[in-house]
């Protein structure tokens, strides 16, 4: 009997060991990565803040190297409405917007380089628009936008004319398998993958949603949607699934923020099922968005210190008010980590610091030697040059 129990304990421990290890690292980062403890590092030659007076709270971005343009998804309303971290102050929520940023022409002023996308056939843009993850499928000019609307999260589909800066609404996707949509990646003109960060929606189940984050329960998911055939199904379970990108035609990368890993999956050609390949450990924080540069390197933006980020998410509304500016709580800067990964080179740190806080996406134009970083709760973008 005694031996049996011991055996069971050993088995349970060996099952729990990777989990305990992962949790211990997440917790230790809450101490070691406090803003005053980190050693700043940058591998870039120069850096410059841009657009700080025009936009803030930009969570996602996409680069079109051919045009030298970035599409940015920004939501000043996140100060008072955050469906991922769970902060709801419904009194006064401003709407977010999408922007085209010409980053390739250094001579342009911020005003000249930035153009707000206007919407056609989409009245919600004025009443209930809180963009998060975006995806642009260039061959059909289709723009997918996760909208954390107060009326319920959805994926909005637009036809984007980049030359006119007009996005014409063509449809809204809502589904019970899309409770917490976060990021989107297009497979072809009819199929997409969407990540859900949680099973429990923090708006309706705050305690369970927080437990899900901190225990690392695989409540998040990746959902495959075939728009032509009207098929929606779950193809992977991932704890706090976040950024999602194709590394190449057959490999999909999904970041798991609560376990500080990026997971690689092989995409089965006909069924679009995902077969787990391996997990990449993000050494210094919780990965948010992913992008892939022209050299095939996976770029990862990570939040180094979750407590500072939470504090920022809850004080922005105050800090962006005239009374709050300059007060002590508003001086907190949540550190960001930026890195790259490749099969040959492994994980490399590109940047660590607070010049941009709560970095959510890093993207790089390898031809021009320019990288852009957006911050979930910061102003403008940080532009790096090689």
By the criterion CB under 6 A, which residues form the site for ligand NAG? 59-60, 132-133, 146, 182-183, 230, 232, 242-244, 247-251, 266-269, 277, 288-290, 343, 360-361
Q: Which is nearer to ligand NAG, 93 or 267 (CB)?
A: 267
Q: How many CB atoms within 10 Å of residue 282? A: 24
Q: Which is nearer to ligand NAG, 59 or 340 (CB)?
A: 59
Q: Which is nearer to ligand NAG, 23 or 175 (CB)?
A: 175
**CA-CA-CA-CA dihedral for 371, 369, 185, 55, to nearest 10:** 30
Q: How many CB atoms within 10 Å of residue 248? A: 10
CB of 176 to ligand NAG, least distance (A): 8
3-state secondary structure the chain: CHHHHHHHHHHHHHHHHHHHHHHHHHHHHHHHCCCCCCCCEECCCEEEEECCCCCECEEEEEEECCCCEEEEEECHHHHCEECCCCEECCCCCCCCEEEEEECCCCCCCHHHHEEECEEECCHHHHCCCCEEEEEEEHHHCEEEEEECCCCCCEEEEEEEECCCCEEEEEEEECCCCCCCEEEEEECCCCEEEEEECCCCCCCCCHHHHHHHHHHCCCCEEEEEEECCCCEEEEEEEECCEEEEEEEECCEEEEEEHHHCEEEEEEECCCCCCEEEEEEEECCCCEEEEEEECCCCCEEEEEECCHHHHHHHHHHHHHHCCCCCCCCHHHHCCCCEEEEEEECCCEEEEEEEECCCCCEEEEEEECCCCEEEEEECCCECEEEEEC
Query: Pairing relation of β-strands 181-186 and 191-196?
Result: antiparallel
Q: Which is nearer to ligand NAG, 60 or 156 (CB)?
A: 60
Q: Which is nearer to ligand NAG, 140 or 327 (CB)?
A: 140
CB of 290 to ligand NAG, least distance (A): 5
Q: Which is nearer to ligand NAG, 46 or 228 (CB)?
A: 228
CB of 87 to ligand NAG, least distance (A): 14
Q: Which is nearer to ligand NAG, 210 or 324 (CB)?
A: 210
Residue whose Cβ sits closest to ligand NAG = 133
Single out the residue of 340, 262, 306, 349 nearest to residue 26, CA to CA: 306
CB of 177 to ligand NAG, least distance (A): 9
CB of 19 to ligand NAG, least distance (A): 23
CB of 47 to ligand NAG, least distance (A): 21
End-to-end CA distance of the chain: 65
CB of 135 to ligand NAG, least distance (A): 6
CB of 175 to ligand NAG, least distance (A): 7
CB of 231 to ligand NAG, least distance (A): 8
Tell me the two tokens of residue 283.
């050494």
CB of 266 to ligand NAG, least distance (A): 4
Q: Which is nearer to ligand NAG, 120 or 268 (CB)?
A: 268
Q: Which is nearer to ligand NAG, 33 or 358 (CB)?
A: 358
């Amino acid at each position: 009997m005694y031996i049996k129990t011991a055996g069971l304990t050993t088995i349970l421990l060996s099952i729990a060991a990777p989990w305990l290890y992962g949790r211990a690292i997440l917790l230790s980062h809450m101490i070691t990565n406090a803003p005053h403890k980190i050693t700043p590092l940058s591998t870039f030659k120069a850096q410059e803040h841009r657009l700080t007076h025009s936009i803030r709270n930009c969570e996602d971005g996409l680069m079109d190297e051919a045009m030298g343009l970035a599409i940015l998804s920004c939501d000043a309303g996140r100060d008072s409405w955050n469906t991922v971290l769970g902060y709801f102050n419904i009194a006064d929520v401003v709407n977010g917007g999408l922007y085209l940023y010409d980053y390739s022409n250094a001579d342009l002023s911020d005003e000249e380089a930035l153009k707000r996308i206007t919407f056609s056939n989409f009245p919600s843009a004025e009443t209930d628009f809180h963009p998060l993850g975006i995806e642009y499928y260039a061959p059909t000019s289709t723009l997918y936008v996760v909208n954390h609307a107060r009326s319920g999260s959805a994926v909005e589909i637009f036809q984007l004319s980049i030359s006119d800066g007009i996005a014409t609404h063509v449809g809204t996707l809502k589904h019970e398998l899309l409770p917490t949509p976060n990021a989107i990646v297009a497979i072809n003109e009819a199929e997409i993958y969407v990540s859900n960060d949680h099973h429990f929606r923090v708006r309706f189940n705050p305690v369970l949603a927080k437990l899900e984050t901190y225990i690392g329960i695989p409540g998040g998911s990746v959902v495959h949607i075939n728009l032509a055939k009207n098929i929606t199904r779950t193809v992977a379970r991932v704890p706090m699934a976040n950024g999602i990108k194709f590394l190449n035609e057959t490999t999909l990368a999904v970041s798991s923020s609560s376990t500080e890993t990026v997971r690689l999956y092989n995409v089965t050609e006909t069924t679009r099922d995902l077969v787990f390949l391996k997990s990449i450990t993000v050494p210094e924080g919780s990965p948010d968005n992913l992008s892939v540069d022209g050299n095939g390197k996976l770029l990862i933006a990570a939040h180094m210190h979750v407590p500072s980020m939470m504090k920022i998410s809850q004080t922005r509304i105050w800090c962006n008010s005239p009374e709050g500016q300059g007060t002590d709580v508003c001086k907190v800067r949540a550190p960001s980590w930026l890195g790259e990964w490749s099969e040959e080179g492994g994980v490399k740190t590109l940047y660590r610091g607070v010049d941009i806080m709560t970095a959510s996406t890093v993207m790089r134009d390898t031809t021009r030697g320019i990288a852009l970083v957006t911050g979930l709760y910061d102003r403008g973008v940080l532009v790096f040059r090689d």
